[in-house]
Amino acid sequence: MPSLRARVALVLALLLTFSLAPGAVASASPDTSTTTTLAESTGASTPVAGWQIQSSAQVSVDGAAVSRTQFNARSWYPVGPRSTVLAGLVQNGKYPDLFYSTNLRDKVNLADFKVPWWYRSEFTVRGWAPTTLLRVPGVISRGEVWVNGTKVGDVVGTYNAREFDISSLVRPGRNALAIKVQPADPQEDFGISWIDWAQPAPDNNMGIWRDVEIARTGPVSITGTYAHSKLALPTLSSADVTAFAELHNNTNAPQSVSLQGRIGDRRLSQNVQLNAGETKAVAFPVETFRNPKVWWPAQFGDQPLYRLDVTARVGGWTSDQAGSNFGIRDVQSSLNAKGDRQFVINGKPLQIRGGGWAPDLLLRTQPERLESQMRYARDLGLNAIRMEGKLETPEFYDLADRYGIMLLPGWECCDKWEPWSGWGGSDWTASDYEIARGSMAAQARFVRSHPSVIAFLIGSDITSPTDVQQMYLAEFEKAGWANPVVSAASLNGGAQPPLGSSGSKMEGPYDWVPPNYWYGDQLGAAYGFGGELSAGHSIPNLDSVRAMLSPTEQEQLWKEPTTPQFHTGRGNEPFNNLTLFSTALAKRYGTPTSLTDYVDKAQLANYEQTRAQFEAYARRMTAERPATGLIYWMLNNAWPSLNWHLFGNDLAPAGAYFGVKKANEPLHVQYSYDDRSVVVVGQGPKGGQGLTVRADVYNLDGKLVHSQEKRDLSVASLGVTEAFQLPELQNLSSTYFVRLKLTDRSGREVSKNTYWLSSKPDVVDWANSDWYFTPVSSYADLSGLATLPKAGIDVRARTHNGTTTVTIKNTSSTIAPSVALTLRKQDGSQVTPVTWSDNYVSLLPGESVTVQANHGECGRPVVEASGLNVTTAKTLADQ
């Protein structure tokens, strides 16, 4: 037990600061411009404010010298607190414009990353505390950790967090910390791999990408807090909440601990005895909340959060403090009668509508960009994101909690994390099992408190072996895990115990398939739970294409579809070129005549692809074998790409984005490619009554050839109602249009949806399917769209407080199937990020529509209307 003098000092004088000079750290006094000062209370944990990094090839001394305050790092690269080596070099201007063309391949010296790199920082200690802890969240691939000339240990693996007691090494005043980071190889190390998603980061992301923290505590530390809630179903009228605190005795003597907690205005208390060196999870008495504020996924309610704060007192003095947010909600997941994965949230069997997540290729922390992407996910009508092996930073989970986006984190395929797949990664040794065990333990604790996290997938492309499952499940139990654990995102590997079948199919497609594919009864078609699937390539808008590709690559894109594109995918076929997509584009929409023509047609193709996929899954929510969920592959990209995304890396939404947004309307009317039925789907918390559905069929020349209407329809929340089936019409043009409109009792438009179709449908050749696509034996004929006369579009716009309202009118006598609206700054660049109430809209002759764009302050934007048969029009928004 500390003396009275020591305890008084603990209360009155605990002060720890870190300082990392933006430039040199030498034997002279360090620059204090980035000094971080801890609160005077015990229990504060402060992240290292930044690092200086240097290649070991340039450093002739060992860690004992590098980690002393006398060491001169004047010539080293200053970087932020989270920075891979390559990200740090980019930050310092060594490798500019890496994401353009083939610069990532041609402009980077790979030899830079074949040797270890040093990370160095200094911190200043003032006052006294019994315990000082260094917390390292993981290192890619591994690191030697040194403090004040002494090696304190190793950190091995991206997610294998370690805590070191450095109490005996720190001293008042300046202290030095150094970590020697080893090169990374995803096939040999527990690192991060980009698989076939993107070109790999040349440094394989070696470095430190989450916060390293130093904490000062008393004799007992709080190593974590969390809460479990048991929600009364189906009434949601009450919830029993149990709060937990994990404690560690830092001393070699028993300690009596008084735990005090708070949830809102509720006070918690518990007395605990800890043996010397003991770690224990302590439960507070259960608290019952009447009429609790329940956390719901996006579209189904609000996302209220509760706060748990805990203080540990020893001898009447504060020893440590910690806290966490949590949500009151209920998550259940099991296999339905068909063996498919089903999630039930707060008693509702929700259909998962998600996308696969890709962080920045260099793992840079970009909070505003992160929030923009989370906002996009919600605007798209998605409710989930799958995170395969890229488990992100704390801010990501906080945003998902706030935006109501359910998360499915898990390990990744095809490398060291999953060597039993046979698709990559060296076999595990005994020490590898311990790294995997430590990684699971750390990440279970890292994400367990977030209501957005609804499950953890311990496998990706194949079920983990039984011994690995058992090892992981033991760590979940120790961490107090209360969510489902799923064996994989795939059915590969079978139903190995103890978790059994994943109930999640992974049978493709990953490349182009026609819209009617999704209405089939095989492979990735709309039934069951699809762990990752899409029609592949997604072409950004013209600005984005020109920004990522060289002039030569731009020409190859529309003229030479078999030529590999560096921004399509890594390695060999099938994902390094656009053969399937571009062939289908030319066969269905007509051979492109220019880059602009190619991009315009690609937006139409991407729109119909993504819309059909989500609509097919929506229509079959209530089928005999229901479609319980899908993860679109992918939501976003790690860098500018022509493949697998719903919005570009520059955050410019295009055709694929608005196809999904249209399909995911809360009350939505849609056409079925398989049987011509017109159905209404309820995808929000409320259904609809007294609805009217109207369908109008137009030939290419705009002549109305058929109308059909059904009144007084009802649809339930999470329900599907068929309105009618369109007849097989004669004398249709080869390309024609179907316009659907859904109105409520008052005649207010609820949903409007326009299809461009062909009297010669795509014929899917199921028998010759491959793992990544299913071919067609003949293509639909949509080439008539390219022959449409030019449509004149009148554009009116007004902007105020970051919102621009745009009214567009088709002033011509021809149909405009897709009018794309773009906001531009005065210099001509795109305004991003931006969310539109609708975009890529279809206009009949004389028709007008008003939409809104939310974009933040950007002055008076220029609004541009363009499209395949649209005469480009621009107007400066009024204020």
Sign of CA dihedral 325, 328, 334, 336: negative
Closest by Cα among 128, 125, 167, 122 to 16: 125
Token representation of residue 406: 């359910």
CB distance 221 to 131 below 8 Å? yes
What whole-number distance in Å separates Cα of residue 501 and Cα of residue 77? Answer: 49
Closest by Cα among 217, 319, 306 to 258: 319
Helix H segments across 60-100?
Answer: 63-66, 85-91
**Residue listed under structure tokens 């009116």:** 796
Selected catalytic residue, list 388, 415, 461, 781 = 461
CB distance 129 to 45 below 8 Å? no
CB distance 818 to 792 below 8 Å? no
Q: Is 878 a catalytic residue?
A: no
Phi, psi of 797 (to 5 degrees): -150, 150
Is 785 exposed, middle or buried, given 0-12, 13-18 or 19+ CB atoms closer than 10 A? Answer: buried
CB distance 88 to 79 below 8 Å? yes
Closest by Cα among 839, 848, 835 to 803: 835
Beta bridge partners of residue 878, listed in sequence order: 798
For residue 176, the one-letter residue type is A
Question: Which residues in 607-687 belong to E strands, given as ranges?
Answer: 627-632, 667-671, 677-682
Instruction: Return the DSSP state at 718.
Output: T
Question: Which residues in 199-340 belong to E strands, given as ranges?
Answer: 207-208, 213-217, 220-231, 238-249, 255-263, 266-274, 279-283, 287-290, 306-314, 317-326, 331-335
Q: Residues with Cβ < 8 Å from 241, sequence gap 6 or more?
A: 227, 228, 229, 230, 263, 286, 287, 288, 289, 306, 328
Question: What is the Cβ-side half-sphere exposure of residue 799, based on CA atoms within 13 angstroms?
Answer: 20
What whole-number distance in Å separates Cα of residue 685 and Cα of residue 666? Answer: 8
Name the strand (E) or helix (H) holding 146: strand 139-147
**How many other CB atoms sit within 10 Å of the CB of residue 552?**
10
For 602, the 3-state DSSP assignment is: helix
Instruction: Return the DSSP state at 776.
Output: E
Selected catalytic residue, list 532, 608, 665, 781 = 532
Closest by Cα among 597, 579, 627, 645 to 785: 597
- In angstroms, what CA-CA distances link 195 with 390, 658, 831? 12, 28, 32
The distance of Cα 151 from the centroid of its chain, to the nearest Å, equals: 37
Cis bond upstream, residue 509 (ω within 30): yes
- In angstroms, what CA-CA distances link 400 with 18, 52, 350, 352, 630? 30, 32, 17, 15, 18
Is 871 exposed, middle or buried, given 0-12, 13-18 or 19+ CB atoms closer than 10 A? Answer: middle
Q: Is 532 a catalytic residue?
A: yes
For residue 2, the one-letter residue type is P
What whole-number distance in Å separates Cα of residue 737 and Cα of residue 50? Answer: 58
For residue 134, the one-letter residue type is L
For residue 492, the one-letter residue type is N
What whole-number distance in Å separates Cα of residue 513 and Cα of residue 521? Answer: 14
- In angstroms, what CA-CA distances link 158 with 50, 101, 194? 19, 29, 14
For 74, the 3-state DSSP assignment is: coil
What whole-number distance in Å separates Cα of residue 824 and Cα of residue 836? Answer: 14
Token representation of residue 710: 């059904």
Catalytically active residues, by annotation: 461, 532
